[in-house]
Structure 1
Amino acid sequence: MLRNTRIFYFLITLLVVLLGILSRKINAIPLFIGDILYAVMVYFGCRLLFINGSNLKKIIFPLLFCYLIELQQLYNAEWLVAIRNTPLGHYALGQGFLWSDLVCYTLGIVMTVLIDCKILRR
């Protein structure tokens, strides 16, 4: 069965990346949806890397990654700002620190952990 394999999580990660980019292109979709999808992508990316990780790792690593990405936005070195000003850098690193993004990341990862544990692994 395809579930709980690296291919499965890779395909889901790609789908979430496409949905996240699409969410930024359609003005009717609120911006916080993209932030939630970013956290979902990070979660499934971590699941891809740590396929048999413990429940604690499934939550801590993606949250830590998302929080660190958000916190790095407080640092404005020229080289980092130059990366953020590229399209890929903008999508990956963001532009400015927002507390609400931390809430969106937490919500996205908690929601995804529940979906992963309850639905995807049945």
Structure 2
Amino acid sequence: MFLALAGATIVIGLATRRFRSSLPAAVGLYAGDVLWATMVYLLAAAIWPRASIRGLAVGAAVFALVVEVGQLYHAPWIDAVRATRLGGLVLGFGFLWSDVACYAVGIALALLIDRVVARPRVGAIGGIA
């Protein structure tokens, strides 16, 4: 379930990059970063399915922050990795506080997806407790 959700998130994220000019400015600018953090959480949930939601959120946030702070480091070898399409998508290019805010929103979105879609509580109205 989590791998499928992560895959869908990747497709939507790439679509927001591809069709950025057709989207409202704020969506085109920030959706990729929000969805990147959502994907990080969902992939972590796929790897560690018994992990608590809180643990997954903290782990995704720490990972996202490490990647973002890592963008302050500019050695030739890491900049060469970032110059590739995949490297740029995964590692980003430069530190931005707005990215940190987007990661918080993306992880919150992932928490909602986890609670409502992937692991709803049994016996609750509509599957939500």
Q: Which residue identity is paired with 2:31?
A: I
Q: Secondary structure at the match of 1:75?
A: coil
Q: Which residue identity is paired with 2:72?
A: L
Q: Secondary structure at the match of 1:71?
A: helix
Greater Rg by CA: 2
The corresponding residue for 1:25 is 18
The corresponding residue for 1:14 is 7
* Structure of greater relative contact order (alpha carbons < 8 Å, 6+ residues apart): 1
Measured after TM superposition, the shift of residue 72 of structure 1 is 0.5
The 2-side partners of 1:111 and 1:75 are apart by: 29
Gaps of 5+ in 1: 1-7
Q: Which residue identity is paired with 2:107?
A: I
Q: Which residue identity is paired with 2:12?
A: L
Q: Which residue identity is paired with 1:10?
A: L
Gaps of 5+ in 2: 121-129
Task: Give yes or no for contact 2:2–2:118 (8 Å, CA) kept in 1.
Answer: no
Q: Which residue identity is paired with 1:41?
A: M
How many residues align structurally? 115
The corresponding residue for 2:40 is 42
Percent pairwise identity: 34
TM-score under structure 1 length normalisation? 0.89
